[in-house]
Structure 1
Amino acid sequence: MRPMQDVASTCWSGLGMTSESGLPRRSRRPGVSLEHKRQRTGIVRNHGSMSEEMPRPRRSFREWWLFIWGYETQAPGEDRDEPSREQDDGAERSRSWFTDDADPAVAPKHGRADFLNRAWEIIDEARAQKFSVVFGLVGPWGSGKSSMLDWFRGRAREKSAEHDATDWNVLTFNPWDYPDASALQLGFFSALRSSFGSSKLETARNLVSELGIAVAPLTAVAAAWGPFDPSKVVENSARLLGGNRSADAARRKLVKTLEQAKTPVLIMIDDLDRISADELLLTLKLIRQLGRLPYVHYLLSYDESTILDVLTRTNLIGSDEVGRARDYMEKVIQVRFDVPQLQPDDVLELSNSALRELGDATGHSLGEEQMSRFSTAYFRFISPRLATPRSIRRFFAQARLLSPRLLGELDLADFLILTWLRTFESGVYALLQRRRKELIGGVPSGRSRDASEIARESEKARETWEESLRSAGTRQEDIEPVLSAIASLFPRLADALNRIVEYPTAEPPRIAHDEYFDRYFSAGISERDIADSTVRKAIADTESGTGEKSVAVAQTKLGLLVVRALTVSKLIRAAEDAAIVGPATYAWLTKIYNEDLTHTEPLRSTSRIEALVSNRLREMPANVAFAALDAIATAGGGILVATTVSKAIYRPQQRTEALNLTSSIQNLVTASLRIAIIAEAATAEHMSWPLRNAALAWKDVHPDGFRNWLLDEKSTRGDLAALGFFVRLSQTMGSRPSVRLERVDLQDAAEYLDLGELKRRYEQEIAAVKAIEIGSFTDTPDTPQNRKIALLNALKTWEV
């Protein structure tokens, strides 16, 4: 912390000014910061969660006034343990990727060196200029103005090449530092006073104090004292206020003194576009009417669109009078320097550099297909919003939320596009989460629509989404690129809008997939999720024979207990990708399959496991396939054996190979199903729904084996009992599913049983049986009595 000066001097120099004489500098905090949005300005800018700086706390007028008169030994808001400027410089030199602090080293980069050098040459010409000049550094938020001010400050510290030239006195006045107009006015004169730091300018400092007090409202002075009335305050106030309070007189004396001193002063004013309308008018008035002193020059930094917007909110200019607001600023600013925009090549260079840094830091990379999608997105709608160095930093700083732990867990192109929305359209980012149900999933298939119907539906969808985007805070000119971004992520929306996008798929791990959507918004693996890498490692360890000691296997088994459906889905995909052959892997899948068979939900993982195993059986040699099937049978998977073999012996596509159905595989099917029937204590008439479906497959895979079992059932339980197997059933859905009679398949039964003999044997019962209605539109339950009646009715119609 700097040494304390005399109270009168410190009172003015401690107001957050920066000067060549060692006065305190503006504080800029390194690191990530949330943007401090000031509601009192009435300006709302969607700048996401990263901002250029976190301003220090604004000090109250009363704090400053008490400090002026010696009742505080330290400037309000100053940290007693504040590091030295040298320490601050060291911190700036080690600035990390996410800092948004001003950095003079980057100011001349990206084609701006000539602009800065020429601008400084013009500013430096005012060094010997008696008449005050106000320069304006004009550029949008985030264009690098603060870094340029620091660069100018560095140039001003350099010694002039001219022997008779007087060095600049440079300081910074930041109106953002002050809580209200009174404190701001006091701070402005503090800035002026601190600019005359040498002993030979003591008269000028005192005259600035007189001028400041002369124009300070007495009500503000009274408010500063509050309930205090110490004798020292009364004495000092009487001394200053009892003299000539004429602002004009004080200013004339000050002008004369400064004309004689010929000391060039450059006051840099930053954050002018962050203060309220009243504070802005006051600052401009102070500069134009009171601060235009001999050899005192100003460099104002601001975003013109914001300044004009604020001015139109004042009574002086009037609502929507942008032209008048611009004329007003032209009266204040004599010379303006417009910050050059980044060229497309510069934006591309910065973006590529940031992508490389992101890859180095996280290990993520864009594959060929992902790179194609992201490149299209970048040039179509991302890059136009990356118009300033700050916007580029903000975007890629937000992308750093991508953790190395998510390597292989997300689609990087989708993540970056979503990050763009999160950074620049936070309202849309929240909207997507609310619209989850209508966004996830692939393009609906099997629809037939004519061109006019497609046009009507797409126009309606567009109107609906445009209204939603406007409600989410998207500006009208940004609606089209934002809609393009969302459509590139979600094929269902692209289809609804009748848009053509690259790779319109909802396959894992794309954001449009139901199992991955939430992962993109949490940017991590939640407790209701399991990492794909964990499941892949579990499959690999099981294939290699180390599954019993594998941590990944243990984690996957835990996932089966906590989030079963999700874990099974990932396990099946991992097994598909790994082209599994190990018996232990098939045994593990069989255990999962058998557990799911006991569930009553209409949709289960069993069909997906059946598809996985049958596809693998088609791809494997007969001996390897037999080993896999034997492992399944040994694990109690007779149902899975019969079902998958029946599917694998057929080719779903012309180029697909079919399983070579050897006698060994046929015998294995028969043996495993007989074991399953015994284990379930099932009969031809009464067996579980999955076992019955497997038995139906059995008769196609190994007809002789099925016939022998059926004849065993006939000899053990009777003709009608054996015939009962051919009663086709249907199962209802709901919390309590029931089995109903559908039909009796006598054509199929005739291949295994002598139906003519059965009809003669039960002739009397057939004649006496009552009629029964069975079928899809009846609710006749499957009971032993109903089944017998259905069989007798069917035999009645059988023609020998």
Structure 2
Amino acid sequence: MTPGKKIVYSVAVRREKTRGTGLMTEPSGEQAEIQEWTMNSDRPIAEPDEDQFELTSFARTIARVIAKNRSEDSFVLGVHGPWGIGKSSTVALVRHCLDAEFGEDRENLEIIEFNPWWFTDKESLHADFFAELAAAMSLPDRERARLRAIGHRLGKHSASIAPIVGLIGGSAMEKALRATGGVLQDFLEDPKATVPHEHRRISDALREAGKRYLVVIDDLDRLDIEEAMMVFQLVKSSGRLPNITYMLVFDRALVERHLKERFSGADQQYLDKIIQASFEVPPPDKTDLRYKLREQVLRAVDAQNQDDEARILDVLVDVVWPFLNTARDLARFDNVLKILWPSVEGELDRADFVGIEALRVFLPLLHRRIFDNKNAVLRRPAARGLSEDDRASMTKTLFDGLDQPSVRVLQQALSRLFPRLEIYWGGSGYDSDWEAEWRKNRQICSETFFDSYFRYAIDDSTLPASQLDQIISQSGDGKTVASALRKASARPRRQGGTKAASLLDELVVRAEDVPEQNIESFLGAVFSVVDEINLPIDGSRRLGDFEDNELRAHWLLNRFRDRVSKEQFDRAVVRAAKLASLQFLLSLADRALRNNGLIEGRRGAERSIVSSEAAIELRDLALEAVTRAASDMSLLQVPELVSSLYVWMQLEEMMGEETVRDWVQQNLEDPQLVVALAGSFVSTNQSSSGRSNVTRTRYLVHKKLVAGLCDPKRLISCVDELLAGPGTTDEEKSTLRHFRELWDEASDEEPLFVEQLALDEADMTEE
């Protein structure tokens, strides 16, 4: 665009989808009709009413040249331009203009269409061409036969026509013989017949007939260069026939290039010797193309609101416009969107889908390089900054060998789709806060959704947008939310873990969509099932990375902190905590107390999740719940018993009480407690280091943690008794035996790490 010049668009909302209970419902009646569409075929237009790019006036000029030509001499004109520019449409409009605007001249003009690519037999091309002329011309049978015979003669490059009789067995000759009732046979058997002699006789017949002929030869672009040369030769060979105008339709630049490559001396002058007048099809006006593109794209992807349309228009300007040159480009791209968008509609960002598909259609090499360099286009550059070598390397990786459009245009296009690339080319940087926004919008620059734009399906690590919409629309119904989380925890993901982790991750980025009045019931539902869905397979597999579903629930809580006033949030969290499962309630109380500095020496760096008053209320709720669970022994069911016991101990210390160790000591005779402690005292993490392809699984036993809760010797004695005695299941014995073996190897002071090795899963999934 010219600097300072703006194109103003009107933005209109096309339709609103009906919403019932928050689920997207199918429109009906007139709304349903709005969604219907048809494919853009590649057929040429035939009427001026179909002309969207002002070809009619150009075609009218050519029609006038043909209609007003009164010379008996043969005349050859060329209509040329690149593929997709509208050459065939121009031909159709020329015919229309001849019929509609030059009636008197048209009455005496016969139009003959010859498409050489219909005839695959190169040997008979000349014969077919002259046979088509003969069939269409108003000539006596004998002259028609001579015309056909000339074609056979030229096709065989023979000095006389008679020898052809024994060589030709093709359908063209057979049809000609039958059609002329032996006239052609007589002519071919005459040894004195020559092409110049018969040419003169045909010319005299054409003059006497008084008819004029327009021979249209279209789609020369579809022929290989040898076939195209043959067509030019046959036009030249028949060029002296009177009252014939030839209109050759082809891509002149392409033909000239091939001529130079394949035939020395055959260049522009070669064509100029054949063609007396050339007409270059004018390219469509860029503004017309762009407005039509805007209309078609917004219809194809069904923009829902002004924000959608604004983003799509930005992508059209930066990503699609540079590649749009012809009406065929427009039709191709429109068809692609109509075919592919429905497969991902509602799951991916409309604007980004339009942009990446434009690159796939118009610049497939760049599209492939983006996919092959996923980490490079998505990652946040190192804090140290970028060197000139870094910038040059990125430009080379993505754009090397791509001459059109300019590198600057390509940089602008990719920066629109992948904002973090901006910094490589003098733009801004984007910190980690943007990642949640990109993921929420399901944009291509989000690592979660990147692959989906190339595979036309969301990865199983994500959830359908319709499912998330349903949960959010019913966020005030705690039972529905809790049920959705339970169901998700029962569904495994292909790359490990369950859908519960995916659902919580998606809810974190969509938290602002939960209505304020539903926050309390929504949090209560999440809190109530955290212990149940906090499965080990959903935890991090890397040493020092403690991501699990419990932590995801805390992240979700964070997203609501600034949605309402502090008083409202305190009230919502405390009420939701009354529904919380035990281990999460202990974790929540511990976090709130630490954030407010109420547990000595443990004040966290993060901003307080709730006020000090609310933290005390959470402590009291947690103490009440854990005391009750200890009394009926349901405490043994918490997923991480040891950590829960230590939190209980810390809460009691605030109250000046010390009952946790006594409770453990008093219940060590209970086999369930012993097995639970043995399993909980062994912690596991995984890591890989350096360039190693091996994952190290590390099992940790810390004897000091055991001593803090009970007498270690007594615990070991209970473990040994259960291993030796009856009534212990195989699974329980495996847990006890693992703990016992690690205990024997551990020191009294330092935790013990025992490693197991496995091939890194990342290498197993590499393409």
Task: Answer yes or no: same fold by TM over 0.5.
Answer: yes
Aligned counterparts of 2:661 and 2:373: Cα–Cα separation in 1: 59
CA distance in 1 between partners of 2:372 and 2:511 (Å)? 33
Partner Cα separation in structure 2 for residue 383 and residue 614 of structure 1: 42
Residue 321 of structure 2: aligned partner: 383
2:703, 2:747 within 8 Å by CA — same for their partners in 1?
Answer: no
Change (3 A) 1:384 1:437: closer
Aligned residue in 2 for 1:667: 620
- Residue 505 of structure 2 corresponds to 569
1:503-652 to structure 2, matched below 5 A, reads: 505-506=434-435, 507-508=438-439, 509-525=442-458, 530-541=463-474, 543-544=476-477, 547=480, 556=488, 559=491, 564=499, 565-575=501-511, 577-578=513-514, 581=519, 583=521, 586-588=524-526, 590-591=528-529, 593-599=531-537, 601-602=540-541, 603-616=547-560, 619=564, 620-633=568-581, 637-642=584-589, 645-646=592-593
For residue 298 of structure 1, the aligned residue among 223, 241, 246 is: 246
1:465-484 residue CA offsets vs partner (Å, 9 max, x unmatched): 333xx3xxx44655553454
Identity %: 19
| Residue in structure 2 matching 1:211, options 150, 153, 170 | 150
Question: By how many angstroms is 1:177 displaced?
Answer: 1.3
User: Which residue in 2 is equivalent to 1:181?
Assistant: 122
Distance 1:237 1:207 in 2: 7
1:23-34 alignment runs, 5 A limit? none
Matched, 1:347 2:316: no
Q: Say if 2:461 and 2:493, in contact at 8 Å, map to a contact too.
A: no
Paired residues of 2:703 and 2:749 also in contact (CA < 8 A): no
Question: 1:526 deviation in Å?
Answer: 6.2
Residue 364 of structure 1 aligns to which amino acid in structure 2? A
Note the alpha carbon deviations across 1:340-377, whole angstroms, 9 max, x for none: 1222221222122213322xxx5334653x65554444
Change (3 A) 1:590 1:495: farther
Deviations 1:406-453 (A, max 9, x none): 44421222111101111112233233333334434x4246x123xxx5
Taking the TM superposition and a 5 Å limit, the aligned residue runs for 1:256-335 are: 256-317=204-265, 325-335=267-277
Alignment deviations for residues 596-641 of structure 1 (CA, whole Å, 9 cap, x no partner): 343464343332222213554675444432221111137x644444
- Conserved? CA contact 2:123–2:155, under 8 Å: yes
How many residues in Structure 1 have an aligned counterpart in Structure 2? Answer: 634
What aligned pairs does 1:188-199 form with structure 2 within 5 A after superposition? 188-196=129-137, 198=138
- Residue deviations 1:642-662 (CA, integer Å, cap 9, x gap): 355457758977798747416
2:189 corresponds to which residue? 242
Cα distance change, pair 405–309 in 1 and its aligned pair in 2 (3 A): closer
Matched-pair contact (CA < 8 Å) for 2:527–2:577: no
Q: Which residue of 1 aligns with 2:302?
A: 363
User: Structure 1 residues 191 and 638 mapped into 2: Cα distance closer, same or farther (>3 Å)?
Assistant: same
Task: Name the amino acid aligned to 1:137.
Answer: V
What amino acid sits opposite 2:65 in the alignment?
I
Alignment of 1:424-463 (within 5 A): 424-440=362-378, 442-444=379-381, 447-449=383-385, 454-463=387-396
Q: How far apart, CA to CA, are the structure 1 residues paired with 2:388 and 2:514?
A: 44
Q: Deviations over 1:369-418 (max 9, x none)?
A: x6555444433452132111111121222122354574442122211110
Cα distance in 2 for residues equivalent to 1:220 and 1:660: 109
User: In the alignment, residue 125 of structure 1 is paired with which amino acid?
Assistant: K
Deviations 1:278-315 (A, max 9, x none): 11111011112224421110111111221112212322
Instruction: Verify the 8 A CA contact 2:315 2:352 in the aligned structure 1.
Output: no
Aligned CA-pair RMSD: 4.7
Q: Is the 8 A contact 1:182 1:220 kept in 2?
A: no
Instruction: Spell out the pairing of 1:385-404 with structure 2 (5 A cutoff).
Output: 385-404=323-342
| Cα shift readout 1:55-105 (whole Å, capped 9, x = no counterpart) | xxxxxxxxxxxxxxxxxxxxxxxxxxxxxxxxxxxxxxx993421111123
> 1:55 corresponds to which residue?
none
Give the Cα–Cα distance (whole angstroms) in 2 for the partners of residues 118 and 327 of structure 1.
Answer: 25
Whether the 8 Å contact between 2:78 and 2:248 is mirrored in structure 1 is yes
State the TM-score, normalizing by the size of structure 2: 0.70
Q: Deviations over 1:476-531 (max 9, x none)?
A: 65555345433432345444555448999542111122221222123234667531
Distance change in 2, residues 1:489/1:672 (3 Å): farther
Call closer, same or farther: CA 1:559–1:649 in 2, change over 3 Å. Answer: farther
**2:214 aligned counterpart, secondary structure:** strand
Matched letter for residue 206 of structure 2: L
CA distance in structure 1 between the aligned counterparts of 2:113 and 2:608, rounded to whole angstroms:
77
Moved more, 114-123 or 325-334: 114-123
Equivalence map 1:115-130=2 (5 Å) = 115-126=58-69, 128-130=70-72
Whole-angstrom CA distance in 2 between matches of 1:736 and 1:95: 56
Structure 1 residues 423 and 641 mapped into 2: Cα distance closer, same or farther (>3 Å)?
same
1:48-87 correspondence to structure 2 within 5 Å: none
Question: Given that residues 97 and 397 in structure 1 are in contact (C-alpha distance below 8 angstroms), is that contact kept between their aligned partners in structure 2?
Answer: yes
- Taking the aligned partners of 2:384 and 2:430, their CA distance within structure 1 comes to 23
Say which of 634, 637, 654 aligns to 1:704: 654
Q: C-alpha separation between the residues in 2 aligned to 1:498 and 1:740?
A: 52
